[in-house]
Structure 1
Amino acid sequence: MTNKSGLPISKPTALVHKPMELNLKEFSKAVGKGGIDFFFGKWDSLAGDGVEALSALGLAENASEKGWWLVFRSLLQAIKNLVDEKTEIEPKHFNLKPLKNGIEQALENSHLILNQKFFNHPDKDPIIQAVKPAFLDWLKQCNLSEADAIAISDRLPIYFAAALHDEWRRHAKDYAGLKEQLDTPFTQANDRLQAWFRYGTWLQKQVEEPMFLEAFSLKRVYVPLRAYYKRKVEGQKAEEVEPRLTNRDNFERVVIELDKELETWLNKAHKDDAIRLISGSPGSGKSSFAKMFAANLAETDKIRVLFIPLHHFNPADDLIDAVGKFVQMDGILPHNPLAPDYRDSRLLIIFDGLDELAMQGKIAEKIAQDFVREVQRTVDRLNQRELCLQVLIAGRELAVQANETDFRKEGQILHVLPYFVPEDKRKNYVDTNQLLEQDQRQNWWQNYGAVSGYGYTGLPNELDQGNLTEITAQPLLNYLVALSLRRGELTFSQDTNLNAIYNDLLKAIYERGWAGHQHRAIQGIEEKDFIRILEEIALAAWHGNGRTTTVRDIQSHCDNSNLKNLLKRFQEGFQDDAKASITRLMTAFYFRQSGHNDSGDKTFEFTHKSFGEYLTARRIVEEVRYIHRKLEARDDDPYEDWDERRALHRWALVCGSTAMDEYLFEFVLDEMGLHYQKKPENVAKWQDTLCHLISFMLKHGMPMERLEPRPNFQEENRQARNAEEALLAVLNSCARLTEKLSEIKWHSDDAFGTWISRLHGQRVRFDVFCLSCLSFLDLGGCELRSKDFYLANFKQANLTLADLGEVNLQDANLYKANLEKANLYKASLEGVCLALANLARVNLEEANLKGADFVEGNLEKANLYNANLEGVALVVANLKGADLEGTNLARANLEGADLEGANLARANLAGADLQGANLENTNLEGANLEGAILYGTILESKVTISSQETES
């Protein structure tokens, strides 16, 4: 059969003139579900149970009439699916007969032929354009805005294609006659090819589904992403490469268009280069890109593509078996595409959410690494002879960084770039095609203005300032800003943080539930209670895998948090159980049902994990406020039965199950910042309370024996560690705002060192979260010898008299830290930031300080004997009386430094910049000053210097 030939459809003879075989039992059953006869225009029967009723009547005996019913039913089902997604529309309140008549008229005038071309791309058939006007008019009659009506009707094509697949599959026996006269992909292909055809349509439909609670879809506002990969600079020494383009490992960042880069990789199809990783921050658009990329590939049908969200995937199995279980779980495919008998010549698997395998701390992080290595092994095994499998893995930066060492080929890891890169930062990239010149925020707002009906032609001027510049550079956050801007309740300023925007979003969701078509689940519920329940739902999800939870888990968390009565209030107005009430509540926020867990319970997930992280952060900060208030009341009332053990028990319930990470901490910090803006004195008090709790905990331990049911020792220990780390992190969030030292009472000199070693554990990646939370900490006199503080943040910490001998402080931040009289003998401080730090009388003998930043640091009378300060920045530093004998200061920047009375005997100052430095009474005997710059240097007669030539 050619594309032009085929089967013309024809409208069935009118019901009253059609002889029929009436199966009363089946007819009653079908009509009973909807409750209304199909032809009277009632919605439930229009496209759902009406199909069963018509089958029971035995209508449409010839193939042309059955073809008409196939298209008609599919159109109706597609329209019903679109309308069901828009909760503002209640079809029973509107006349559906004109819509049905419009569809029938369009079909009569279309001269539609069922053939290969139609079934290959039903979404592109002219029948869709013929039906759209009637659908659009009906949507407007439902009181939708012009923009919303257009946005919904524009999504009809792919919804029709999906409905056509479902209709054929679900009612195959109704269309048996078609198979005898029609040669289509449905009848010609085997079950496996049909499944791929159906799944490809499903992928395309995913990007056309409504974005959050909007009428428009992701596809309508999507802006293609840019990214960069690291390229090693070959054949040059590090000092010869322009520093702005490279890091210490001598790499440069090369900017590319992400979709084109991956298309090129797919087309090359090299069996030894079959894996790519996409790394991006929360809200950077990596998941949206993965969906769009999969949908576009499915539409072209050049390569089979399988999209797997990793929070729905069990990584514990063999990869081939795990993929098989995944595709069969929700009926995605009837076969395992990696099994030998069903393997296609080319398959791309997109795994999205690598970080979602790492939600239970370091153990799960190991699972993520094991998963990636299993992917590598499987890809290598299947591609031994020729390429048949390629894999794309997307995840947050930290999850990808943990696997960087396994992917060293150029371009294997692609880092997503934001919509906007400020001009002063563009110089850090190799951007041959000037891709970064474009501010993609303008494109996004143009798209959004068109589909939303708000008419934006670009980024509003009031959003291009302060923190908002960074926020609007991220796709997801851009959308949240747009929602708040539309509400007009939040005043945007350069200090507006992300949590303020999320808080405004919560208010919008609550008010939306109260406006006209109020959610029954929140009738009579105050806003604070609505948010409180959502926080508990988020906590339940965090204690699970970070995104997903069940009604049973929510009920359990509410019981533990004394929210039973509040939960019961959500049941008012219902005659069903709490589970139904919670389900209705969750539909008021950004949740979706996502299948069942191993116990058979329905699971719900946040549409974006960031929503859950924000609500969890609110819950954690609220716990701090509650604990402080109860302990304060205890101090005022001796009959109050609260004490530190009870406080720590509650803290363990909130923060013990899952380890906090950098992403959640950012939300905690912003949430604490909102409290600080309102009442800074409260945050200062909370800081003192947390210091006291940590001191108590270090002396008496976490009261894990109070957990019910009590877990085994290993699990107790894991949860205790998580809770303790969270205490340190939240304390640090307070200190960063108050800029006040956190004065914890250490019960021994080694108390902090022992504790931080417990929290630190075995390093499995470059950065360790707990080490980023040490700023503003009072560690005076602490014993910290030989500790690993690589990349630690000691900003403005007090380390006076601390023993830091032989510690690793490489790339640590010691900005404005007080290290007076500290011992740093043989310490490694390469690349450390010591700007404005106080190192008076510090012992840095034989320490490695290569590339360190001492700008304006105080090193008066410090001992730097034989230390390595190659390339160090000591601009305007105070080195009066410092012992720098034998020190390596090659290429160091000592511009304006005060070296009066310093001992630089035998020091290596080759190529050092000493412009404007004070060298009065300095001992430079035997020093190497070859190529040193001494313009404007104060060289008094008392200076001891060798006879070597100097530039002066």
Structure 2
Amino acid sequence: MTQYIYQRHTTAMSNTSGFSVSKPVALWNKPIKADFKELFKSLGKGVIDGVLGKWEEVAKDTLDGVTALGLTAVPEEVAWLLIYRSLVEAIVSLIKGNQELLFEKPNESDFEELCDRLNHSLESIELLIDQDFFSRPKDLPILEAVKTAFADWLKYFSVNQAQALTISHRLPTYFVYALHEEWAKYPEKYACLKEELDTPFTQANEREQSWQRYLAWLQKQVEEPMLLEAFGLKQVYVPLHAYYKQKVGGEKSEEFERRVREDEKYQRIVLDLETELEAWLEKGDRNDAIRVISGGPGSGKSSFAKIFAANQAEKGKTPVLFIPLHHFEPSDDLVEAVGKFVRDDGFLRHNPLDKDKGDSRLLIIFDGLDELAMQGKIATETAQQFVREVQRKVERFNVRETCLQVLIGGRELVVQANSSDFRQPQQILHILPYFVTEDERNNYIDDQNLLQQDQRQIWWQKYGNASGRGYDCLPKELNQDNLTEITAQPLLNYLVALSFDQQNKFPTDGNLNAIYANLLTAVYQRGWAGYQHPAIRGIEEKDFVRILEEIALASWHGDGRTTTVREIETHCEHSSLKSLLDKFQESAKLGVTRLLTAFYFRESGVKEQEKTFEFTHKSFGEYLTAKRIVREVRLIHKKLKDRQDDPDEGWDEREALKRWAILCGASPMDEYLFKFIADEMCLQNASDVSNWQQTLCHQIAFMLRHGMPMERLTPRSDFQEENRQARNAEEALLAVLNACARVTKAVSKIQWHTPEAFGIWISRLQGQRINTYTDVFCLNCLSFLDLQGCALVYKDFSQANFERVNLKGANLAGANLGWTNFEGANLERANLLDANLAEANLERANLLDANLQGAYLPDAILVGANLQGADLRWTNLEEAYLEGANLEGAYLDGANLEGAYLEGTILEGTILEGKNLADLNEASGSDSDK
């Protein structure tokens, strides 16, 4: 029998001590075998039993077996134990993370032969454990051999060549993480190695080891599989471009600043995002220690934050702490909040911001500023308080030298709302899409020619290599103008790729919801129906989607991303889905949870002693929530109609409003969710949407007369909470009505019971603006409304959307209508006395006989507008765009038309009193014959 072989020696080249370790062959004949053959056989069994949730047992049995071999405490055997256990943990973690890709049970005899062959290829490999191993554990020679064997093993389970290689290539990263975890979990077992080997790893103190362990975790994060794929983010990541706004040079008058549009005051300077932030880190200016990354949903903010954190941590110049803000509890003191986060996270044993025990230099990356919104306060208020606390602490830490730098990422709206707090040059960096069209490039200063590159081509080539699908560029079927907006965004481009690869009918109309729906079906067919395990038979696709909608709703009602099983159960009971949930959960207990977590949500922590789950992509939760809301609209319409047909059936208006309050009262709607609702409406039958529009008009009219029936909700909340939920539900009614109208293009005719009813209601929904930059969501949902004769005196409608609104005879005297969109609106005989319409869009609006006396319209767009008989006396129309407008019979006495654009304007019969048409043409600078 081969004897156990090891040899102490000195490496001549490096003068470092070490020892050679080979597998203790003689010991494999003990009852519990832990050789590679048994490992691969156990893992093969685990692939089948893993569907039943037995992965932990497989790993435990294997590791217990090698621990029970009776190895002595000599360093060589202890080192082998450390390596073997770490390898097992890494391999098990990789298989568990890609389990949905492993389907077929191999032929037993063939599989036995494979395991023999793999074991034989590995058993004679000698390991050298020296200083270099712990400084570069990824370079351990056995890893290459195990990677090859592991890839061969994976192919036995219907994993293709590219997938097998992709999964096995991630083994070194997983091994390093497992190594750190194993060392941290059982330090007493490996104490002898500290005495034998003098390396930064073995001799590191507790703090250094915790940072090393955290670095390994950051590295593993970017290697973890994406959705239902074998590859991780790192394999397909494309470096992002961004821009910052630089004020237009030169001294400008106050009049210029007032009159020029905000965007026109700035130049957009393009840069490489990672290069810019690395230079910022290297410079370490204590007066410029905060940077902000702004981008829309799916723009790549979080992906960049993870990649940047892993890269900077690996360089080792500055410790990096990555904090997803939906896992962070902000408080009045940032130091305490960070301390709680690292304690809960479990990697660091010290608070890196502690003044006595903290680190001398630190980079904190806060990801998801918008996700601080759901902590019991208004979103913008919570984010603003957090930003200012970060600024205070950064100033305190950096009094003498730069100790703390902070990178914050968030969606555009919440960053914009806090932009007044970020005044340093280049402080806010706006992420650019993968592709900027040639026309759009004129809006940027791009000295490095970064925008010449179509990064979609690079991404698709990487995706083709990682997935084994062979793409070398963006497929021509997807390289269409109407899909540019979607394929240019990182997340949406990836979802397009997944949907395109399923060989289903691909939606080419650019509707994101259609792509999500296509992908949802593909995932169900691939992961559920395709596997045909007895545990998941009987769960139909419609039930699969329905439960996911309820999970999304529970998340929306919570913090926007996370939820618990208890919250899901509560929502399902309210929606009469308890029996379906029971069937679903029974399947989940048998292992289907992994399929869900691979794409939809993952475990994210503990809340009130319950595990929490979060959507891996917030936008997918928003899509499912939108589907749930549209489903409820359909149901409300049906139930109200049933009651009309039979008084013993269906619901009355109060019951329908109660259901709506339960659905939409807990959380306010925002533009991101609204966009999904509007897109979902576009996918419905047009006649259905038209009927829903009328039903919602009726419900709003009923609600305004009788109020939201909050007293019907159980359990009842206090008045303040009921009032808050009622307001949210009312705003959602308006928003969903507007989504219907955008599809039908028909005016929504609500029966306002008094002229002031709409004005009172919109004031309640609108609330108070926090600053001039704040967009008010409900004001974007006013298009296609019938507001004929409404009293809206002095209302604040700045930046509102009044497209195609009927405001005939409405009283808007003194109203703030600056930057408002009135395109195609009917303002016949409307009273706009002294109203502010600066830069308003009144293109093709009907202003017949309207009273605009003293109104303020500089730079307003009145192209093609009908101003016949309008009273424009003392109106400021300076530099207004009046091309093709009809001013026949209008009153222009005292009007300011300096610089106005009047080409093609009809001025016949215009009443000027003291001016003639020649004067008017001269004032406007027009040479055309009027």
- What's the TM-score once normalised by structure 1's chain length? 0.90
Q: What is the deviation of 1:195?
A: 0.4
Q: What is the deviation of 1:572?
A: 5.5
Paired residues of 1:750 and 1:782 also in contact (CA < 8 A): yes
Match of 2:291 in 1: 276
Alignment of 1:789-828 (within 5 A): 789-828=797-836
Helix, strand or coil for the counterpart of 1:208? coil
Q: Does 1:114 align with 2:130?
A: yes
Structure 2: how far apart are the matches of 1:53 and 1:539? 45
| Matched letter for residue 199 of structure 1 | Y
Q: Does 1:744 align with 2:750?
A: yes
Alpha-carbon deviations, 1:20-58, whole Å to 9, x = none? 9x9xxxx9xx99xx9x98797566787544333443443
Aligned pair in 2 of structure 1 residues 880, 140: CA closer, same or farther (>3 Å)?
Answer: same
Helix, strand or coil for the counterpart of 2:435? coil
Paired residues of 2:903 and 2:926 also in contact (CA < 8 A): no
Aligned pair in 2 of structure 1 residues 757, 112: CA closer, same or farther (>3 Å)?
Answer: same
Helix, strand or coil for the counterpart of 2:570? helix
Alpha-carbon deviations, 1:463-487, whole Å to 9, x = none? 1224411111111111111111111
| Matched letter for residue 562 of structure 2 | T
Alignment of 1:47-62 (within 5 A): 48-62=60-74
Match of 1:165 in 2: 180
Match of 1:912 in 2: none
Structure 1: how far apart are the matches of 2:246 and 2:311? 28
Q: What is the deviation of 1:589?
A: 4.6
Q: Does 1:845 align with 2:861?
A: no
Q: 1:514 aligns with which of 504, 524, 528?
A: 528
Q: Which has the higher mean CA deviation after the structures are superposed, 161-170 or 511-520?
A: 511-520
Alpha-carbon deviations, 1:682-734, whole Å to 9, x = none? 11000000000000000000000111110110000000000000000000001
Q: Which has the higher mean CA deviation after the structures are superposed, 881-890 or 799-808?
A: 881-890
Aligned pair in 2 of structure 1 residues 379, 91: CA closer, same or farther (>3 Å)?
Answer: farther
Paired residues of 1:618 and 1:668 also in contact (CA < 8 A): yes
Q: Does 1:182 align with 2:197?
A: yes
| Matched letter for residue 670 of structure 1 | D
Q: What is the deviation of 1:664?
A: 0.2
Structure with the bigger RCO (C-alpha within 8 Å, sep 6+) is 2
Alpha-carbon deviations, 1:81-104, whole Å to 9, x = none? 111111133798674885687478
Helix, strand or coil for the counterpart of 1:174? coil
Match of 1:128 in 2: 143
Helix, strand or coil for the counterpart of 1:131? helix
| Matched letter for residue 130 of structure 2 | L
Aligned pair in 2 of structure 1 residues 359, 894: CA closer, same or farther (>3 Å)?
Answer: farther
Q: Does 1:647 align with 2:656?
A: yes
Q: What is the deviation of 1:421?
A: 1.1
Helix, strand or coil for the counterpart of 2:521? helix
Q: Which has the higher mean CA deviation after the structures are superposed, 63-72 or 580-589?
A: 580-589
Structure 1: how far apart are the matches of 2:27 and 2:756? 93
Match of 1:14 in 2: 25
Q: 1:89 aligns with which of 102, 105, 108?
A: 102
Match of 1:929 in 2: 922
Alignment of 1:532-681 (within 5 A): 532-571=546-585, 583=593, 586-587=596-597, 589-597=599-607, 599-640=608-649, 642-675=651-684, 679-681=685-687
Superposition CA RMSD, Å: 2.8
Structure 2: how far apart are the matches of 1:293 and 1:588? 23
Paired residues of 1:835 and 1:853 also in contact (CA < 8 A): yes
Aligned pair in 2 of structure 1 residues 645, 39: CA closer, same or farther (>3 Å)?
Answer: closer
Helix, strand or coil for the counterpart of 1:172? coil
Match of 2:7 in 1: none
Paired residues of 2:899 and 2:925 also in contact (CA < 8 A): no
Aligned pair in 2 of structure 1 residues 801, 134: CA closer, same or farther (>3 Å)?
Answer: same
Helix, strand or coil for the counterpart of 1:185? coil
Alignment of 1:198-213 (within 5 A): 198-213=213-228
Aligned pair in 2 of structure 1 residues 452, 585: CA closer, same or farther (>3 Å)?
Answer: closer
Paired residues of 1:245 and 1:428 also in contact (CA < 8 A): no
Identity of aligned pairs, percent?
Answer: 58
Helix, strand or coil for the counterpart of 1:344? coil
Q: What is the deviation of 1:798?
A: 0.5
Alignment of 1:883-898 (within 5 A): 883-898=891-906
Alignment of 1:767-778 (within 5 A): 767-778=775-786
Alpha-carbon deviations, 1:890-927, whole Å to 9, x = none? 222111111112234578xxxxxxxxxxxxxx5566x6
Structure 2: how far apart are the matches of 1:319 and 1:239? 39
Helix, strand or coil for the counterpart of 1:6? strand
Structure 2: how far apart are the matches of 1:503 and 1:71? 45
Paired residue total: 901
Match of 1:690 in 2: 696
Match of 2:711 in 1: 705
Unaligned runs of 5+ in 2: 1-9, 47-54
Q: Does 1:869 align with 2:880?
A: no
Aligned pair in 2 of structure 1 residues 80, 651: CA closer, same or farther (>3 Å)?
Answer: same
Q: Which has the higher mean CA deviation after the structures are superposed, 886-895 or 665-674?
A: 886-895
Q: 1:757 aligns with which of 759, 763, 766?
A: 763
Match of 1:406 in 2: 421
Q: 1:350 aligns with which of 355, 365, 374?
A: 365
Q: 1:504 aligns with which of 507, 518, 522?
A: 518
Q: What is the deviation of 1:490?
A: 2.2
Q: 1:254 aligns with which of 257, 269, 288?
A: 269
Helix, strand or coil for the counterpart of 2:433? coil
| Matched letter for residue 168 of structure 1 | W
Alignment of 1:522-537 (within 5 A): 522-537=536-551
Alignment of 1:215-614 (within 5 A): 215-237=230-252, 247=262, 250-359=265-374, 363-493=378-508, 495-518=509-532, 522-571=536-585, 583=593, 586-587=596-597, 589-597=599-607, 599-614=608-623
Structure 1: how far apart are the matches of 2:925 and 2:64? 91
Helix, strand or coil for the counterpart of 1:593? strand
Aligned pair in 2 of structure 1 residues 136, 584: CA closer, same or farther (>3 Å)?
Answer: closer
Structure 2: how far apart are the matches of 1:476 and 1:245? 35
Q: Does 1:70 align with 2:82?
A: yes
| Matched letter for residue 426 of structure 1 | R
| Matched letter for residue 602 of structure 2 | R
Paired residues of 1:245 and 1:430 also in contact (CA < 8 A): no
Aligned pair in 2 of structure 1 residues 447, 39: CA closer, same or farther (>3 Å)?
Answer: closer
Aligned pair in 2 of structure 1 residues 618, 327: CA closer, same or farther (>3 Å)?
Answer: same
Alignment of 1:774-785 (within 5 A): 774-785=782-793
Structure 2: how far apart are the matches of 1:156 and 1:607? 23
Helix, strand or coil for the counterpart of 1:368? helix
Structure 1: how far apart are the matches of 2:312 and 2:485? 31
Paired residues of 1:7 and 1:64 also in contact (CA < 8 A): no
Aligned pair in 2 of structure 1 residues 730, 522: CA closer, same or farther (>3 Å)?
Answer: farther
Alpha-carbon deviations, 1:542-601, whole Å to 9, x = none? 000111000000000000011122223325579x7xxx889567447521111101x111
Structure 2: how far apart are the matches of 1:223 and 1:244? 40
Alpha-carbon deviations, 1:854-876, whole Å to 9, x = none? 11111111112122222211111
Q: What is the deviation of 1:244?
A: 15
Unaligned runs of 5+ in 1: 908-921, 939-952
Aligned pair in 2 of structure 1 residues 464, 58: CA closer, same or farther (>3 Å)?
Answer: same
Aligned pair in 2 of structure 1 residues 871, 544: CA closer, same or farther (>3 Å)?
Answer: same
Helix, strand or coil for the counterpart of 1:929? helix
| Matched letter for residue 10 of structure 1 | V
Structure 2: how far apart are the matches of 1:256 and 1:525? 49
Structure 2: how far apart are the matches of 1:840 and 1:532? 50
| Matched letter for residue 254 of structure 1 | I
| Matched letter for residue 78 of structure 1 | A
Q: What is the deviation of 1:776?
A: 0.3
Q: What is the deviation of 1:241?
A: 10
